[in-house]
Amino acid sequence: MSAAPFLNVQNITVRFGGLTAVNDLSFEVQRGTIHALIGPNGAGKSTTFNCISRYYQPTAGRIVLDGQDVSHAPASHMARFGVARTFQNLELFGQLSVYENVLLGCYPHSAGTLGRLLRRPNAETRDLVDSLIERVGLTHDRNTTARELDFGHQKLLELARALALKPRLLLLDEPAAGLRNRDIENLDRLLKELTTRDGITVLLVEHVMQLVMSISNRITVMSFGQKIAEGTPAEVASDARVIEAYLGK
C-alpha cells in the first residue's frame, strides 16, 4: 500500500487564450522525495510549476498539498503551507548582502516588522541564517552584496533564501542552469541531503540531465502540455516516447 502523496496534481489544464499550455496533467509526489518535471522547451513545465506555487490559476483541475486543497490559495499564502520556490530568473536584492538576503527569507515566520528583522534579528534567526549560508557554501561571501556574486553563487543564495522559509515543499525552476560542474556537484549533494536528512520534498524543473538522473526518485516527462511518460530515471531514460520527444523536434 502506498502512502498518501505529499503533493497531488489532479487533471490540471491551463489555457492562454487559444493555446493549451497544460492539458489534463496529473502526477503525485511522495513526501521526502525528489521529483523532476522534464520535457522539451514549451512543454508546459514552468506553467505547471507556476500553478503549484499559485502564480497562475489553472483553468481546470485541483492541487492538493498534504491533504489540503490549495487550488484557490493565493500565492502569498503558500509560505504558510510550507511551500518555497526559486525563480528561473533570479529575484535577489542586489544591493543587500548574502546575509541580509537570507535573513529576509525568514520574514514569513518572524514575529516583528521587516525593519526590525533586518536591524535586530534574534539569536535563533541569526544562527539559522548562518547555518544556511554555510550549507550552501557561501560563508566566505557572507558580507558580499548579491550583485557581486557570480551567477552560480547567486543561485545558491536564492536556494539558501528559500530554505530560510523552513519549507516542507521546495519548488526549483532550473536550479542548475548556468552552473559549472563543481557547483552542480554541490547542488546534487545538497538536494539529496535536504530530502534524506531534513525530510523536505523537492519538485524541480531541470534541463541538466546529469543532475536529474542522479538525484530524482521519480520523473514526469511532458511534451506539448501532456504527460508522456513517468517513472524512475532508468525507466524514463529507456522510454521510446521520451527519446522521440527529445530527438524528434
Q: How far apart are CA 134 and CA 39, in angstroms?
A: 33
42 is a site residue for ligand ADP (CB under 6 A): yes
The CA distance from 212 to 188, in Å, is 9
Instruction: Answer yes or no whether residue 19 interacts with ligand ADP by CB under 6 A.
Output: yes
Short-list 46, 7, 55, CA closest to 225: 46
Whole-angstrom distance, CA of residue 127 vs CA of residue 121: 10
Q: Which of 34, 35, 36, 46 binds Mg ion (CB under 5 A)?
A: 46
Smallest distance, Mg ion to C-beta of residue 222, A: 10
Question: Of these, 2, 41, 95, 143, which contacts ligand ADP (CB under 6 A)?
Answer: 41
Nearer to Mg ion, 141 or 173 (CB): 173
Which contacts qualify for 118-124: CB closer than 8 Å, 24 or more apart? none
Residue 76 touches ligand ADP, criterion: CB under 6 A = no
- Which of Mg ion, ligand ADP, none interacts with 201 (beta carbon under 5 to 8 A by kind)? none
Q: Which does 41 bind (CB under 5 to 8 A by kind): Mg ion, ligand ADP, none?
A: ligand ADP
Binding segment for ligand ADP (CB under 6 A), chosen from 16-24, 99-107, 131-139, 208-216, is 16-24
Residue 47 touches ligand ADP, criterion: CB under 6 A: yes
Q: Which is nearer to Mg ion, 41 or 143 (CB)?
A: 41
**Unique residue bearing C-alpha cell 489540503:** 68
For position 16 contacting ligand ADP by CB under 6 A, the verdict is: yes
Interacting residue with ligand ADP among 5, 32, 44, 121 (CB under 6 A)? 44
Nearest residue to 159 via CA among 120, 189, 196 = 189
Give the Cα separation of 167 and 76 in Å (integer).
14
DSSP states along 139-167: GGGTTSBGGGS-HHHHHHHHHHHHHTT--
Q: Cα(161)–Cα(175) distance, rounded to whole angstroms?
A: 13
Q: How far are the Cα atoms of 11, 74, 197 from residue 56, in angstroms, in the given order?
A: 15, 10, 31
Cβ 187 to ligand ADP shortest distance, Å: 19
- When binding is defined by CB under 6 A, the residue of 5, 7, 27, 45 that contacts ligand ADP is 45
The Cβ of residue 4 has, within 10 Å, a number of other Cβ atoms equal to 11
The entry of Mg ion, ligand ADP, none near residue 12 (CB within 5 to 8 angstroms by kind) is: none
**Grid coordinates belonging to 64:** 492538493
User: Judged by CB under 5 A, does residue 50 bind Mg ion?
Assistant: no
Interface with Mg ion by CB under 5 A: which range of 41-49, 91-99, 154-162, 222-230? 41-49
Residues that bind ligand ADP (CB under 6 A): 16, 19, 21, 39, 41-47
Residues that bind Mg ion (CB under 5 A): 46
